[in-house]
């Protein structure tokens, strides 16, 4: 009984420390695969700053209705303090254009002025001036060459016309994403952006966790009655599972500062894994040394498999590893320590359960056929796109946003610069190669560039104005030179700044020759960089697979001698069938497919251990354990998160295949 008190004492101390620690729940999908360090810090920083806004996309038949919708929505956002408007209220910017028309020159116009090609400047300006559908943004007496109009129309887009619809995009830095989503239901608008995806992922995950736990609980009640003909043992079984959940949570929250929401989704599988130990305990009427040897070795082999998941530097895998190990050890200790003192016994154990007595020759032919067929479709793909698939509403919103902001679906890179002057040096290179980009200095040039532009424009006015602007009076011409010569020094777009020193340029389709010109500048491509990280992690973890088998074989050999080789065969077949089936269904091999190898082996090796060393009671326990585990992972296949649902499918197939293999290899006539 002292061991029970000691276990509970350690548990409650850990629980108290976990409550004090108060870890936050992370919903950012990118942080599930990237751990903050010197290499990924800038990538995560850019992702945070560039994807921290909600894109509100308005759609209407006319620009007037579009503006009315936008104004009304903005009013509600401001009145309820739901977020900061980033891009819609352009009154301040329009004021700058009117007060400082000389500072806004396109790259093309500036080069013409530098080369004193005033005739070409005048010719281009005349084309704009007499454009029947063009509207000058600044009056001609302040900007007779329409430099401001040329600058804005060349660099930015207003309303976007698509088929018979008009669109505009409002960016909001949210204070309360949930309330913005609720407010949007009153409008005919689309929402996109990382905050919306993160919020809905968290909401769905919370719902799915509760739903899966409820379904799994009902399943456990049914399993207790089906196998043990008793509802009573449901209570000690659930106590052990709850103890395992809490143990995994305590250990994980004490080790990690944040807990990813997907870790919590995956943690529901503890119901299927942890229940195995309880089933084995109540299936065996006598708990001798052989029973405890088998139970302990089954637990330790699973722990060994999960320990190796700490090697790749991927937060989600690391947290799943720690949570599962903590939970399994918690369930194991609860079963061997507390169960003997609980007043519960199973009823009459069911005998007529399926044991899959399959002809070995036919079995091997089927396995060989599946593996060979799968090998023909073998494919690897480490793209981050494989990790997440948004629901239909969000997918539609992202499609529209992509079409409006990047119509050609161009490759997006972020160029990090350390000063406003360095930014303009880089943009000069981008302009030279005709690269499309967006940055702070595209809205307002640097103070140094503004001064140069003012000088160039005044030189133009002195040399070319009389021949060009016959429509202006002499006084107006003189005012053009003497007025509007001040620079803009207080306009800052915070959305382009990572901190007080660093800012970034959003560039599209950077080719190799451009990258060579920018070789000393830090460039981040979120999709490519994350995919490269996943690729490297997969390459790093693949050599660990032989190490896993070697470690398990060595451990099992110490306990079971030569039988260790045969014990490993069913988990190995389960892995081969699972990977082959994944290829047949178009699920490419990536770091998370490799994860299934460790999970299948860790979960199913106890099937071989008990079936090779136990009697009829072990057969019943292994069947029930397999049923509960397959059911748990089958539930995961219904999650909205593509990564987890794919894992659920592959694990269900692999675990079921491993169980069937153990039935074939260890039938009643071939017990070791």
Mean per-residue pLDDT for 459-475? 84
Where are the domains positioned within the chain?
196-346+365-389+530-665
Using a cut of 0.75, tell me whether the model's pTM lies above it: no
Return the higher-pLDDT residue of 161 and 231.
231
pLDDT computed for residue 323 by the predictor: 92
Helix ranges (DSSP H) in 257-314:
261-267, 270-283, 289-307
Provide the pLDDT confidence category of residue 322 given band limits of 50, 70 and 90: very high
Please determine, for residue 529, whether its predicted confidence score (pLDDT) is greater than 80. Answer: yes
Q: What pLDDT is recorded for position 159? A: 42
DSSP tag of 137: S
* 215 pLDDT higher than 90: no
Q: Which two tokens stand for residue 541?
A: 């973890």
Query: If pLDDT is split at 50, 70 and 90, which confidence band does 573 have?
Result: very high
Burial 607-643 (b: 16+ CB within 10 A, else e): bbbbbbbbeebbbbbbbbbbbbbbbbbbbbbebbbeb
Radius of gyration for the alpha carbons in the chain, expressed in angstroms and rounded:
33
- Give alpha helix (H) positions in 413-493: 420-432, 440-443, 447-468, 474-482
Q: pLDDT averaged over the chain?
A: 82
601 Rama sector, left if φ>0, alpha if ψ -120 to 50, beta otherwise = alpha
Confidence of residue 522 (pLDDT cuts 50, 70, 90): confident
Average pLDDT over residues 449-455: 92
For the residues of 585-599, what is the DSSP string, one character each?
TT--B-HHHHHHHHH
| β-bridge pairing 522-524 and 503-508 | unpaired
576 pLDDT band, cuts 50/70/90, is very high
Mean pLDDT, to the nearest integer, of 597-616?
79
Q: Do residues 194 and 51 make contact, with C-beta atoms less than 8 angstroms apart?
A: yes
d(CA 381, CA 533): 12
Q: What is the pLDDT of residue 334?
A: 93
Angle between helices 177-184 and 194-228 (to 10 degrees): 100
Residue-wise pLDDT tens digits, 243-302: 998 999 999 999 888 888 778 777 766 766 778 888 888 887 778 788 888 888 888 888
Average pLDDT (566-570) is: 89
What are 10's two structure tokens? 């350690």
Query: What is the per-residue pLDDT for 285?
Result: 72
pLDDT tens-place string over residues 32-75: 777 766 567 787 788 777 777 888 888 877 767 777 888 888 88
Question: Cα angle vertex 650, ends 644, 654, to 5°?
Answer: 140
pLDDT digits (tens, 9 = 90+) for 419-439: 888 888 888 888 888 888 888
Cβ-contact 32, 319 below 8 angstroms: no
358 pLDDT above the threshold of 90: no
pLDDT in tens, 542-558: 888 888 888 888 888 88
Classify the phi-psi angles of 603: left when phi > 0, otherwise alpha if psi is within -120 to 50, otherwise beta: alpha
Residue 562 C-beta-side C-alpha neighbours within 13 Å:
1
DSSP 499: S
- Residue 594: the pLDDT is 83
Is 125 buried (19+), middle (13-18) or exposed (0-12) by CB count in 10 A?
buried
The stretch 645-655 carries a mean pLDDT of 87
**How large a percentage of the chain has pLDDT more than 70?**
90
Q: State residue 269's pLDDT score.
A: 67
Task: Decide if pLDDT at 482 tops 70.
Answer: yes
HEC letters along 121-133: HHHHHHHHHCCCC
pLDDT of residue 452 exceeding 90, the answer is: yes
* pLDDT tens for each residue of 488-499: 887 877 778 887
Position with higher pLDDT, 94 vs 570: 570
pLDDT digits (tens, 9 = 90+) for 95-126: 888 889 999 999 899 999 999 998 898 888 88
Q: How far apart are CA 249 and CA 361, in angstroms?
A: 46
b/e map of 325-348 (b: 16 or more CB within 10 Å)?
bbbbbbbbbbbbbbbeeeeeebee
What mean pLDDT do residues 77-96 have? Answer: 76
Tell me which residue of 584, 590, 599 sits closest to 633, measured CA to CA: 599
- Burial (CB count within 10 angstroms: exposed 0-12, middle 13-18, buried 19+), residue 397: buried
Q: Which of 19-23, 131-135, 363-367, 449-453 has the lowest mean pLDDT?
A: 131-135
Q: What is the pLDDT of residues 132-189, one digit of tens each?
A: 656 777 888 888 888 888 888 887 654 444 446 677 778 888 888 888 888 888 888 8
């Amino acid at each position: 009984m002292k061991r029970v008190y000691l276990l509970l004492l350690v548990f409650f101390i850990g629980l108290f420390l976990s409550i004090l620690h108060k870890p936050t729940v992370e919903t950012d999908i990118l942080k599930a695969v990237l751990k903050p360090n010197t290499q990924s810090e800038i990538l995560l920083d850019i992702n945070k700053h560039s994807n921290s806004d909600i894109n509100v996309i308005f759609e209407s038949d006319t620009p007037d209705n579009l503006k009315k919708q936008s104004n009304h929505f903005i009013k509600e956002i401001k009145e309820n303090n739901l977020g900061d408007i980033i891009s819609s209220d352009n009154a301040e910017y329009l004021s700058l254009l009117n007060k400082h028309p000389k500072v806004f020159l396109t790259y093309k116009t500036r080069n013409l002025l530098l080369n004193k090609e005033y005739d070409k400047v005048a010719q281009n300006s005349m084309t704009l001036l007499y454009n029947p559908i063009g509207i000058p943004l600044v009056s001609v007496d302040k900007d007779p060459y329409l430099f401001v109009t040329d600058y804005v129309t060349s660099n930015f887009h207003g309303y976007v016309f698509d088929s018979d619809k008009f669109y505009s995009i409002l960016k909001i830095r949210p204070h309360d994403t949930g309330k913005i989503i609720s407010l949007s239901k009153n409008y005919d608008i689309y929402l996109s952006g990382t905050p919306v995806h993160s919020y809905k992922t968290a909401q769905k995950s919370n719902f799915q966790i509760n739903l899966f736990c409820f379904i799994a609980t009902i399943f456990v009640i049914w399993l207790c009655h089906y196998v043990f003909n008793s509802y009573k043992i449901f209570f000690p079984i659930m106590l052990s599972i709850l103890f395992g959940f809490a143990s995994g949570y305590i250990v994980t929250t004490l080790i990690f500062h944040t807990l990813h929401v997907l870790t919590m989704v995956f943690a529901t599988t503890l119901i299927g894994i942890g229940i195995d130990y309880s089933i084995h305990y109540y299936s065996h009427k006598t708990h001798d040394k052989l029973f405890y040897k088998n139970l302990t070795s089954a637990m330790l082999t699973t722990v060994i498999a999960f320990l190796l998941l700490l090697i790749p530097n991927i937060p989600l895998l690391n947290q799943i590893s720690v949570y599962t190990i903590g939970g399994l050890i918690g369930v194991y200790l609860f079963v061997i320590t507390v169960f003997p003192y609980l007043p519960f016994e199973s009823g009459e154990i069911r005998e007529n359960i399926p044991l899959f007595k399959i002809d070995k020759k036919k079995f091997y032919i089927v396995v060989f056929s599946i593996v060979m067929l799968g090998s023909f479709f073998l494919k690897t793909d480490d793209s981050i796109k494989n990790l997440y698939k948004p629901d239909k509403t969000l997918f539609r919103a992202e499609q529209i946003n992509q079409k409006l902001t990047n119509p050609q679906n161009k490759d997006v890179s972020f160029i990090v610069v350390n000063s406003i002057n360095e930014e303009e040096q880089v943009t000069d290179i981008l302009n030279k190669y005709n690269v499309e980009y967006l940055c702070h200095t595209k809205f307002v040039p640097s103070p140094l560039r503004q001064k140069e532009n003012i000088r160039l424009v005044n030189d133009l006015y002195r040399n070319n104005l009389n021949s060009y602007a016959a429509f202006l009076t002499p006084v107006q011409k003189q005012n053009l030179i003497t007025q509007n010569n001040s620079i803009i020094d207080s306009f800052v777009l915070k959305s382009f700044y990572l901190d007080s020193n660093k800012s970034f340029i959003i560039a599209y389709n950077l080719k190799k020759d451009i990258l060579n010109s920018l070789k000393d500048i830090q460039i981040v491509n979120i999709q490519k960089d994350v995919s490269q990280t996943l690729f490297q992690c997969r390459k790093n973890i693949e050599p660990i697979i032989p190490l896993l088998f070697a470690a398990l074989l060595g451990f099992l050999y110490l306990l079971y001698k030569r039988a260790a080789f045969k014990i490993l065969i069913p988990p190995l077949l389960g892995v081969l069938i699972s990977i082959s089936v994944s290829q047949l269904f178009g699920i490419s091999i990536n770091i998370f497919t490799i994860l299934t190898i460790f999970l299948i082996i860790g979960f199913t090796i106890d099937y071989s251990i008990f079936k090779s060393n136990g009697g009829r009671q072990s057969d019943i326990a292994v069947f029930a354990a397999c049923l509960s585990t397959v059911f748990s992972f089958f539930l995961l296949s219904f999650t909205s998160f593509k990564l987890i649902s794919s894992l659920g499918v592959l694990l269900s197939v692999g675990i079921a295949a491993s169980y069937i293999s153990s039935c074939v290899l260890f039938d009643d006539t071939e017990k070791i």
